[in-house]
Structure 1
C-alpha cells in the first residue's frame, strides 16, 4: 500500500525467521531512521522498545490493535497475561504519537481517558488487494454430507473454542448432526488437552477436527466447504476470519461484546451473555437450508466488500497527509513482530 502511494517501505522486526524476505533486525531501525521519516508502530502487547521509538526525531503513527484482558489468559497463559498487564500500564505513552489509528471502534474506546477517542482514526487491519479477497470465488458451494461449522484463530483461552464444542454437542442433542473444524495454531498444550477432553466428555470428539496451522490453499478450502463460521471469542480487536467468511458468502455466528460485532450484520450477533442454547435454533435454521450444499450468500459478500472499502489506499493517504507525509519513506514497527519504515526521498 505504501509503495502504491509512492513511498519506499522498509520492514523491521524484533523476533522473526531470519530467512524472511525483506525483514531486517529492529535495532537497524534506530540506526537508520531520519528526521524526515515516518515510523508506523503496530501495538497489541507490552513493547520494551516503545520509549525508544517515541524518542525518535520523526513523525510517528501508532496502529493500535487493542490489548487482551489479562483475566481471560491468567489461568492457562500466565506469562501472556503478565505482558498484557504491563501493556495496559504502558498505554498512556501512546498519547505521544503524532496520530493514533485503531482497528475498530471498540479498540479505540479502550483508550478513553488516555487520548481523545474522537481523534482516533478507525481502519480495518486488512487491505482490499490481499489475495484472499482477490482470488476467484467458486461459482457454487461445495457439497457435504453434514453441515460443517468453522472456527479460525489461535487456539488460546479467550477464543472460547470450548463453547464451539459445547454448541456442537447441543446441536447433536437436537438430532442435528454437524461437524466442527478448528483452524489455528495450538501454542498452549494444556489448553489443547482441555479441549480434547471436553469434546470427549460431551460425546462429540469424533465430530471435531483440530486442523492446526494451514497454508493459504487449505484455509481457502475450509472456508469454501464450511456452512458457517463461529466466532465465540471474549476478546477481539477486529476478527479477520469473520470478514473472510463473509467474503466467501458464508453465514457468521458472532458472540457480541467484542469488535467482531462491528463488521457483520446485526442478525449475526448473539448477546454476549446469552446461553449457548439460544444459539441452537438460529444455527439450525440457517444451516438447515443448505440441503447438502454450502451456498454462497451474496448479501454477506456485499457486506464484506463494504468493510474492505474502509481500508482503501485513499484512507491511508489521508492519514499520512494528516501528519505531514504525502509521499516518500516511512518506517513502522509491529510490536514484537515486524516494523516497516518509509523514508522520504
Structure 2
C-alpha cells in the first residue's frame, strides 16, 4: 500500500527557484497519484503565499507516513523532523562549501556549515535519498547513505517554447558576440571570473558583451562585481539584468551566442539544460556537478587560462560545424531531463520509498 500523505519541506520557496519549481512538479505528480501533498517552507516569497505553507503550520501527525525533505542548507525544520523521528524521503541538492561566501556573508556561511552537519544527522532518519546529480549522489554515499539514487532537476519545456521578446532580441543583435550566464550573483558561481574572461575576449571581438542574468542574492558581492566591471573598463559591456520575466529569459537563451560558466560549485546547474533545450552551445569550467550535467553538450575545460578560454569561445561562436554538433548533442541529452522521463523515475522511487518504509516499520520491535 502506498503512502496516503506525503508533504514536502524545503528551506525557502521563491519564484524561478529550481528547487521550488521541482517541488511544485512533484506535488502535482503526487496529487495526480491520489496522495495528499502540501509544500512547507521556512521562508515563503509573498508571490507564493497562496501555494506554499509556512513550516510552523506542519503538525507531527501529518508527517507520520513520511516527509519528502529537500536538503540544500541548514534549517530548523531538519532538526524538527529528526526529533519527530519520521521516515524521510530526501532530495539532496548539495550544499555550497561555506568558504565561498564567508567573506561576504558570515551568517550564510554558518547556515551552510549547519547544513553539512545536518546531512549526517538526517542519515539515521532517511529511508531513501535521491540526489539531482551523480556528483551529489557521491556525496551522499561518502556521508554514509546506503539507499541512494539520482533524480535530475526537471525541465518543464512549455515555458521555453513561447515566442521571444522581439524588442529584446533586436537589441541583442545590435552588438556581440553575446556571452550568457544565468544564476544568482554569488561567489561560488564566479561571475568575477566571467568579467575577467570578457576582458580577454574583447581583445579578439571588441564588440563582445557579457550578460549576467540573476538576482543580487549577496548585495556585497553584487556591488563588488559592478565595481570590478567598471575598474577594468567594461562598465558598458557587462549587462546585469537582475531577475527577468520568463519570456525575456527565453529570449536571452535563444539570442545569445554561447553559454559560458566559470562556476566552481554547482550541485546540478539548471541553466545548462535550459541552454541545451534552447539550442545554445556551452563552454564551462569542469567543476563539481558540471561534467555530469553538461556531458557532450558543451566543451569543458579544467584550467582557467583566460586567454585560451577566450580563444575557445571564439571557435565555438564561429565554427559552424562544431557549434551545430554541440547543439544537437544538447538536444539529445536534455530529453532525459524533461518531465515524462523524470516523472517515471520519481514514481519508481516513490514505490521504493514505500517498500523500504514498510520493511523498516515491520522490523521495529
Give the TM-score taking structure 2 as reference length: 0.79
Aligned partner of 1:304 among 334, 337, 345: 334
SS across alignment from 2:76 = coil
- 1:108-187 alignment runs, 5 A limit: 108-116=137-145, 119-126=147-154, 128-129=155-156, 131-132=158-159, 135-136=161-162, 144-145=173-174, 146-187=176-217
The aligned counterpart of 1:90 is 118
Tell me, yes or no, if the aligned pair for 1:238 and 1:260 is still in contact at 8 Å: yes
Alpha-carbon offset, residue 289 of structure 1? 4.5
Alpha-carbon offset, residue 280 of structure 1? 1.4
Query: Against the structure 1 CA distance between its residues 249 and 16, is the aligned structure 2 distance closer, same or farther, given a 3 Å change threshold?
Result: same
The aligned counterpart of 1:66 is 94
| Residues matched between the structures, number | 317
Tell me, yes or no, if the aligned pair for 2:263 and 2:287 is still in contact at 8 Å: no
Alpha-carbon offset, residue 17 of structure 1? 3.6
Alpha-carbon offset, residue 18 of structure 1? 5.3
Distance between the aligned counterparts of 1:14 and 1:306, measured in 2?
31
Do residues 52 (structure 1) and 80 (structure 2) align? yes
SS across alignment from 2:57 = helix
CA distances 1:206-259 after superposition (whole Å, capped 9, x unpaired): 111100011211211211211111121111100000110111010111111221
CA distances 1:261-302 after superposition (whole Å, capped 9, x unpaired): 212234724333332222112100111247xxx999343222
SS across alignment from 1:75 = coil
Query: Against the structure 1 CA distance between its residues 202 and 270, is the aligned structure 2 distance closer, same or farther, given a 3 Å change threshold?
Result: farther
If each structure's helix is expressed as a fraction of its own residues, which one has the higher value?
2
Tell me, yes or no, if the aligned pair for 1:124 and 1:308 is still in contact at 8 Å: no
Segment drifting more, 255-264 vs 238-247 = 255-264
RMSD: 2.7
SS across alignment from 2:30 = coil
Give the TM-score taking structure 1 as reference length: 0.83
Query: Against the structure 1 CA distance between its residues 273 and 17, is the aligned structure 2 distance closer, same or farther, given a 3 Å change threshold?
Result: same
Spell out structure 1 runs of 4+ moving beyond 6 A: none
Tell me, yes or no, if the aligned pair for 1:65 and 1:237 is still in contact at 8 Å: yes
Do residues 242 (structure 1) and 269 (structure 2) align? no
Aligned partner of 1:288 among 284, 309, 318: 318
Do residues 76 (structure 1) and 104 (structure 2) align? yes
The aligned counterpart of 2:281 is 251
Query: Against the structure 1 CA distance between its residues 263 and 74, is the aligned structure 2 distance closer, same or farther, given a 3 Å change threshold?
Result: same
Structure 1: give runs of 5+ residues left out of the alignment: 327-345
Aligned partner of 1:12 among 40, 58, 79: 40
- Larger RCO, structures 1/2 (Cα 8 Å, 6+ apart): 1
Alpha-carbon offset, residue 40 of structure 1? 0.4
The aligned counterpart of 1:340 is none
Alpha-carbon offset, residue 47 of structure 1? 1.4
CA distances 1:284-333 after superposition (whole Å, capped 9, x unpaired): 0111247xxx999343222212333795221111111012279xxxxxxx
Distance between the aligned counterparts of 2:82 and 2:264, measured in 1?
31
SS across alignment from 1:281 = helix
Do residues 226 (structure 1) and 256 (structure 2) align? yes
The aligned counterpart of 1:3 is 31
Tell me, yes or no, if the aligned pair for 1:68 and 1:84 is still in contact at 8 Å: yes
Tell me, yes or no, if the aligned pair for 1:34 and 1:57 is still in contact at 8 Å: no
The aligned counterpart of 1:330 is none
Tell me, yes or no, if the aligned pair for 1:171 and 1:177 is still in contact at 8 Å: no
CA distances 1:141-184 after superposition (whole Å, capped 9, x unpaired): x6723211111111011110011111111011124531111111
SS across alignment from 1:258 = coil
SS across alignment from 2:221 = helix
